[in-house]
Every structure is written in C-alpha cells, then in structure tokens.
C-alpha cells in the first residue's frame, strides 16, 4: 500500500510539473513542434517514466529534474526569440523543394526525401499532381506548405456556372529515371507508348528523366528540376 501511495505522489508530481511546463513554455499544436520540441517531449517522458517506479529516487529529485529541464527549455526559447540570428542555426530554416514549378532535387536528397514521400506530403495538402505546384516549402517542423499555380487555385466551377468535371489523380510513371511498370499496367499502357510520349515532349531516354506522371485529360507531365531543366534531348 505504501508503494502505491509513493508511486501516486510521484505521478501527481510529474503531472503537475508537466502541466506547469506547458503553461510556461506556451501552447503549440503537434504539427507546429520543431525537432527540438519533439526531442524535449521524449526527454520529459523519460524523466518521469524512469523515476516513477524507482524507489531509490525521491520525488524531490523528480521535481528538480523537471524544473531544471524547464529552465533549459525556457532559456533556449527566450534566447532564440531575442537573438533572431541564432534562430536559424538552432531551429533550422524552411527549405524550398519546388521553386517556380521546378523540383529542387538537391534539397530533396539533403532531407532524405524521394518522390514517393513528396507525393504523399502533397496529397496531405489536397494536391494530387506535382504539375499543380508553383512552390513547395518544407517547414522546420517537417510539414509542407504549398502554393499552387494560378491555373489550379481555389476558384470553383460553380463560380462560373460550369458543369462538374471528373477529377483524376496523377500516376507517377518515371521516378529517378526508372519506369514504374506497375503504374503503366494500371493505365493499360506499355513502355513503347511511354517512350513515344517522351519523344513528343522533347525528351530522350526515360533514364534521363527524373520524374514524369500521367493524368487523364491532361496527358504526360515531365517535372523540370532546378539543377538541369529536364535534360531535354536535342
């Protein structure tokens, strides 16, 4: 019974301490957490978890650990707020993955991203084709901010009394120079058809294309990159 009471006191101490830290450091949604915030939350869970069931650790030590960690976090928050020049090296800075419709492959590789991951993040922003994107910014919290091209903005067809138009997601046919045969089969097409489409677009071998997708009603789209705009054949 005494052990249960001791654990309860520690849990209550940890609960109050974490609540006070949350109030002190400010409110943030999960999507707004920086990498440091995420690591800090893991560290706090370790501090509380490792001391609750350890009889040799008095709850006063738990209080001290929480208070000291709160002081470190609060100090860092104030330093980065007051000295903005330190904010970028400490918190990082946003990265342009797509700029003016061109994919920045170098930045994708620096952030260990491939086209499949980029497409997933775009779909989470209700964008189902890379061709729709003018700018895509990878934020410091890992989220993606997207600015669509003017032709794909939020104007609705009802604004112009136009009939409904069937929508189709883009199907990636080439990624990093490799033909996605499964996607071709789903479209009922073959590699010969794809190579002809590439030639019509002014491109040579599929191996020289970083990314290409097909969208019903709009045809083949080949993504240009910031480094080498498409590697067009001459």
Kindly report, residue by residue over 160-194, the tens digit of the pLDDT.
Answer: 555 555 656 778 898 888 888 888 988 888 999 99
Res 182: pLDDT: 87
> Percentage of the chain with pLDDT > 90?
4
| Distance separating alpha carbons of residues 137 and 9, to the nearest angstrom | 46
Element (H, E) at 178: strand 178-179
Q: What is the mean pLDDT of residues 127-138?
A: 89
Q: What is the mean pLDDT of residues 186-208?
A: 87
Domain boundaries, the chain: 2-89, 95-152+168-222
> Which residue would you say has higher pLDDT here, 67 or 37?
67
Q: Kindly report the backbone phi and psi dihedral angles of residue 139, in degrees, each rounded to the nearest multiple of 5, phi listed first.
A: -80, 165
Res 136: pLDDT: 92
Of 42-46, 77-81, 147-151, 229-233, the least confident: 229-233
> Which residue would you say has higher pLDDT here, 54 or 108?
108
Packing angle of the helix pair 59-82, 2-25 (nearest 10 deg): 10
| Distance separating alpha carbons of residues 94 and 73, to the nearest angstrom | 22
User: Reduced to 3 states, what is the DSSP secondary structure of residue 38?
Assistant: helix
> Which residue would you say has higher pLDDT here, 193 or 8?
193
pLDDT digits (tens, 9 = 90+) for 27-43: 444 445 556 666 666 67
Most confident of 122-126, 149-153, 154-158, 215-219: 122-126
| Distance separating alpha carbons of residues 199 and 126, to the nearest angstrom | 31
> Percentage of the chain with pLDDT > 70?
62
Mean pLDDT of the chain: 75
Element (H, E) at 138: strand 133-138
Tally the C-alpha atoms within 13 A of residue 184's C-alpha that lie toward its C-beta.
16
Which residue, among 143, 141, 139, 145, has the nearest Cα to 34 in the 3D structure? 141
Res 17: pLDDT: 66
Which residue, among 111, 175, 173, has the nearest Cα to 144 in the 3D structure? 111
| Distance separating alpha carbons of residues 107 and 40, to the nearest angstrom | 26
Q: Is 124 in contact with 142 (CB distance < 8 Å)?
A: no
| Distance separating alpha carbons of residues 226 and 146, to the nearest angstrom | 17
User: Is a pLDDT exceeding 60 seen at residue 206?
Assistant: yes
Q: What is the mean pLDDT of residues 135-144?
A: 84
CATH of the structural domain 95-152+168-222, one choice from 3.30.460.20, 3.30.300.30, 1.10.510.10, 3.30.240.20:
3.30.240.20
């Amino acid at each position: 019974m005494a052990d249960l009471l001791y654990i309860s006191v520690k849990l209550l101490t940890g609960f109050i301490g974490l609540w006070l830290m949350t109030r002190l450091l400010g409110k943030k949604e999960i999507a707004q957490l920086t990498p440091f915030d995420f690591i800090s939350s893991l560290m706090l869970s370790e501090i509380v978890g490792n001391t609750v069931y350890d009889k040799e650790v008095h709850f006063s030590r738990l209080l001290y650990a929480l208070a000291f960690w709160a002081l470190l976090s609060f100090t860092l928050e104030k330093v980065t707020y007051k000295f903005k020049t330190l904010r970028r090296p400490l918190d990082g800075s946003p990265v342009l993955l797509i700029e003016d419709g061109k994919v920045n492959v170098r930045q994708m590789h620096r952030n260990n991203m491939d086209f499949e991951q980029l497409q997933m993040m775009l779909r989470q922003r209700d964008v189902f084709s890379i061709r729709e994107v003018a700018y895509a910014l990878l934020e410091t919290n890992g989220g993606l901010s997207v600015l669509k091209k003017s032709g794909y903005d939020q104007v609705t067809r009802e604004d112009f009394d136009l009939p409904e138009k069937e929508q189709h997601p883009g199907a990636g046919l080439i990624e990093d120079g490799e033909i996605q045969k499964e996607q071709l089969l789903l479209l009922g097409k073959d590699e010969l058809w794809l190579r002809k489409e590439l030639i019509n677009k002014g491109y040579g071998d599929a191996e020289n294309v970083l990314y290409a997708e097909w969208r019903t009603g709009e045809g083949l789209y080949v993504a240009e990159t910031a480094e080498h705009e498409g590697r067009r054949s001459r």
